[in-house]
């Protein structure tokens, strides 16, 4: 399926931003009116289908073009889970850009109610408790299709115990438009 003009432009911006670090020739970008509007994105890098880096913004606080470029560089060189991307890896690295909708606070009575409210495969989720916060993009449902396991792993990612729950936990859901290089 062909990628729409906005997706193609965002993927090109991301790849150019990473390639610039290796003095690679940049691909031309087709201007798009949304690039100057505020946008929140995540850039995910994969190699052979395996995660190689993922960094993003949960709130739109800078232009879409700048957000994608900055997150691409961060995913390639500053994701603490991985060594910085090497020049030799770039050709086999696939870029995915997720454009987030504004997160919406969820209302729930307890953890079971929150889990029952989730839309697997559709919802991205932000969990916050005090100073701890974590998120999973909707794409994470592909590897964690069970809502209880999804929530458990999200808590662990936030540095909380798997069985943790507190009335002060807040959740917000969001959806994304995503584009991925072939």
pTM exceeds 0.85: yes
Tell me, yes or no, whether 181 lies in a domain: no
Predicted pLDDT at 92: 97
Domain final residue pick, 100, 127, 153: 100
Do 57 and 13 belong together in one domain? yes
Using CB atoms within 10 Å of the CB of residue 125, give its burial: 0 to 12 exposed, 13 to 18 middle, 19+ buried.
Answer: buried
Instruction: Pull the structure tokens for residue 177.
Output: 């438009």
Query: At 131, which CATH number?
Result: 3.30.1490.150
Say if residues 57 and 41 touch (Cβ distance below 8 Å).
yes
Q: What is the pLDDT of residues 103-120, one digit of tens each?
A: 999 999 999 999 999 999
Angle between helices 64-77 and 5-20 (to 10 degrees): 50
Domain final residue pick, 77, 100, 123: 100
Range of the domain at 39: 5-100
Predicted pLDDT at 3: 80
Q: Quick count: other Cβ atoms within 10 Å of Cβ 59?
A: 10
Residues of the chain whose pLDDT is less than 70? Answer: 1-2
Using CB atoms within 10 Å of the CB of residue 162, give its burial: 0 to 12 exposed, 13 to 18 middle, 19+ buried.
Answer: exposed
Predicted pLDDT at 30: 87
Tell me, yes or no, whether 63 lies in a domain: yes
Predicted pLDDT at 1: 60
Task: Please state, in angstroms and rounded to a whole number, the distance separating the CA atoms of residues 37 and 156.
Answer: 34
- Could you say which DSSP state residue 28 is in? P
Q: What is the pLDDT of residues 145-157, one digit of tens each?
A: 999 999 999 999 9
């Amino acid at each position: 399926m062909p990628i729409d003009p906005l997706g193609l432009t965002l993927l090109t911006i991301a790849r150019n931003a990473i390639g610039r670090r290796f003095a690679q020739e940049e691909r031309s970008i087709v201007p798009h009116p949304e690039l100057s509007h505020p946008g929140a994105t995540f850039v995910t890098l994969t190699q052979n289908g395996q995660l190689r880096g993922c960094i993003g913004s949960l709130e739109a606080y800078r232009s879409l073009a700048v957000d994608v470029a900055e997150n691409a560089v961060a995913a390639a060189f500053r994701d603490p889970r991985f060594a910085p991307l090497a020049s030799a890896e770039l050709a086999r690295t696939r870029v995915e850009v997720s454009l987030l909708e504004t997160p919406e606070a969820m209302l729930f009575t307890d953890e079971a109610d929150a889990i029952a409210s989730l839309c697997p495969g559709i919802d991205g989720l932000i969990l916050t408790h005090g100073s701890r916060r974590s998120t999973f993009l909707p794409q994470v449902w592909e590897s964690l299709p069970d809502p209880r396991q999804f929530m458990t792993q999200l808590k662990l990612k936030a540095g909380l115990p798997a069985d943790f729950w507190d009335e002060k936990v807040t959740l917000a859901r969001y959806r994304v438009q995503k584009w991925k290089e072939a």
